[in-house]
């Protein structure tokens, strides 16, 4: 009996720098999204020049992948000058689409850069199929849904529109509706909707009871460990790795991973996991099973607890970051493989974090290649035996139990 296959949704990974772009694609992403030097919401990310965009687009296209540019600020009058020129440069760099939320910038992209495809940003808070059809009629190719949309709502949208649907499946959540928050504006004088978010929701806040007599009483909450602590307005992160079939069957065309400012360790790991899971399901949905190793892998780069966001109902207090984490990452990114010698079984690694003899490490590479071992010996670039590699970007080599490939990454198990 022939296996049944289903449409393969795009796995869309963040790429805050040219290095992250290459790594995301090498580790399985079908597309990446980047930022330019204007109009994006991550002003502190390693944003791309037009020359870097062109080089990134070429790298992606040679490997069958796509590149999108996020230009999704809420524009004020002073932000509008030069928008048409910006979009023309993006188009001419070979970028596949721009992600935009502001109607004036959408108009500029469509009218002043003909041929450049436009995707609606999640910042525009699209939550119904009437809105999706409106933007389709305006000439947009794709809508990135608001994070507040549930899986059943996506199914209904799919029945009433054929515009491409993109949905976030992994990464940080925002306490503001679809990212529309002004905490940073008021508390840090940094406009979150123009790229300056200070993540004030992650701060710890005092909460007071103010009775009629005017005497305030500080309120403290009991965290999961029973200890008193202050409050935050911070949501836990999202992870939909356990629900890939639901997303595919609902008709989502692109599975989006948050994190343009996160590390190459995060980008490579999350792109690797989701591309592996999606490929596994789409190639044989009838026999698909969630691999617990995929879930464990994501926890190795998790910064906060994980949840399913709004997909299966409105989040309650258990979806807020409060108290001791129920699970913690166990690995630190320590290096990247530069070379492997089949005859001597020596692997050459460029160090990124301190590791040494006796450490438990794990190699991982594209298509979910993994193997774990203990570091038995260690040598510097002059072939001198050393106990540890403490210097950033230091090149070292040591005996490897199994063959590995150039570009593979190395983690060290935290004690």
Helices (H), 257-291: 264-283
Binning pLDDT at 50, 70 and 90, where does residue 207 land? confident
Q: Where would I find the beta strands (DSSP E) of 299-386?
A: 306-307, 331-341, 346-351, 355-356, 360-365, 369-374
Q: Is 83 helix (H, G, I), strand (E, B) or coil?
A: helix
Q: Does residue 198 surpass a pLDDT of 80?
A: no
At 369, list the tokens: 């290649």
Distance CA 272, CA 11 (A): 10
Higher pLDDT, 363 or 221: 363
Task: Render pLDDT for 68-91 as a digit per residue (tens, 0 to 9).
Answer: 999 988 888 877 888 999 999 999
Helices (H), 11-99: 18-26, 50-62, 77-80, 83-92
Give the domain ranges of the chain.
Answer: 10-173+235-313, 183-190+197-229, 331-413
Task: Render pLDDT for 312-353 as a digit per residue (tens, 0 to 9).
Answer: 998 877 777 766 666 666 788 999 999 999 999 999 999 999
Higher pLDDT, 174 or 51: 51
Distance CA 389, CA 380 (A): 8
Q: Does residue 1 surpass a pLDDT of 50?
A: no
Task: Render pLDDT for 7-34 as a digit per residue (tens, 0 to 9).
Answer: 899 999 999 999 999 999 999 999 999 9
Q: How many CB atoms lie within 10 A of CB 268?
A: 27
What does the DSSP assignment read for 328-339? ---EEEEEEEEE
- The stretch 108-116 carries a mean pLDDT of 96
Buried b (16+ CB within 10 A) or exposed e, 91-130: bebebbbbbbbbeebbbbbbeebeebbbbbbbbbbbbbbe
pTM: 0.88
Binning pLDDT at 50, 70 and 90, where does residue 181 land? low
Distances (CA, A) of 281 to 8, 245, 284, 290: 9, 7, 5, 9
Task: Render pLDDT for 268-294 as a digit per residue (tens, 0 to 9).
Answer: 999 999 999 999 999 999 999 999 999
Instruction: Give the CATH superfamily of 10-173+235-313.
Output: Aldolase class I (3.20.20.70)
The average confidence (pLDDT) of the chain is 88
Q: Is 163 helix (H, G, I), strand (E, B) or coil?
A: coil
Instruction: Give the CATH superfamily of 331-413.
Output: Translation factors (2.40.30.10)
Helices (H), 99-243: 103-112, 129-137, 151-160, 183-188
At 82, list the tokens: 């030069």
Higher pLDDT, 317 or 155: 155
Question: Residue 6: what pLDDT?
Answer: 81
Q: Does residue 180 surpass a pLDDT of 90?
A: no
For tokens 């999350």, the residue is: 270
């Amino acid at each position: 009996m022939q296996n049944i296959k289903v449409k393969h949704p795009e796995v869309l990974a963040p790429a805050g720098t040219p290095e992250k772009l290459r790594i995301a694609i090498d580790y399985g992403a079908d597309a990446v999204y980047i930022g330019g030097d204007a109009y994006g919401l991550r002003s502190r990310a390693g944003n791309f020049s037009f020359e870097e965009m062109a080089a990134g687009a070429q790298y992606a296209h040679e490997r069958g992948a796509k590149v999108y540019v996020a230009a999704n600020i809420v524009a004020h009058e002073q932000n509008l000058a030069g928008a048409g020129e910006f979009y023309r440069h993006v188009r001419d760099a070979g970028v596949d689409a721009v992600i935009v939320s502001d109607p004036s910038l959408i108009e500029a992209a469509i009218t002043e850069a003909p041929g450049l495809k436009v995707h609606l940003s999640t910042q525009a808070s699209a939550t119904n199929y009437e809105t999706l059809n409106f933007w389709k009629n305006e000439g947009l190719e794709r809508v990135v849904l608001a994070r507040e949309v549930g899986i059943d709502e996506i199914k209904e949208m799919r029945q009433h529109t054929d515009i491409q649907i993109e949905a976030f499946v992994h990464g940080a959540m925002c306490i503001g509706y679809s990212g529309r928050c002004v905490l940073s504006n008021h508390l840090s004088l940094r406009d979150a909707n123009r790229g300056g978010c200070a993540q004030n929701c992650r701060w710890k806040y005092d909460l007071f009871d103010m009775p009629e007599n005017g005497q305030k009483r500080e309120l403290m909450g009991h965290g999961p460990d029973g200890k008193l602590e202050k409050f935050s307005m911070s949501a836990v992160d999202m992870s939909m790795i356990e629900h890939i079939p639901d997303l595919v069957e609902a008709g989502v065309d692109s599975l989006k991973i948050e994190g343009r400012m996160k590390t190459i360790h995060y980008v490579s790991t999350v792109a690797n996991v989701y591309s592996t899971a999606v490929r596994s399901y789409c190639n044989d949905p009838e026999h698909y099973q969630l691999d617990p190793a995929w879930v464990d892998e994501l926890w190795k780069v998790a910064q906060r607890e994980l949840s399913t966001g709004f997909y299966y109902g409105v989040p309650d207090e258990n979806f807020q970051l409060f108290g001791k984490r129920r699970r913690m990452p166990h690995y630190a990114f320590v290096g990247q493989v530069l070379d492997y010698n089949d005859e001597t079984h020596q692997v050459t690694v460029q160090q990124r974090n301190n590791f040494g003899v006796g450490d438990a490490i794990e190699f991982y590479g594209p298509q979910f290649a993994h193997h774990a071992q203990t570091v038995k010996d260690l040598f510097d670039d002059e072939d001198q035996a050393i106990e540890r590699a403490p210097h950033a970007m230091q090149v070292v080599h040591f005996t490897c139990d199994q063959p590995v490939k150039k570009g593979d990454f190395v983690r060290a198990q935290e004690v």
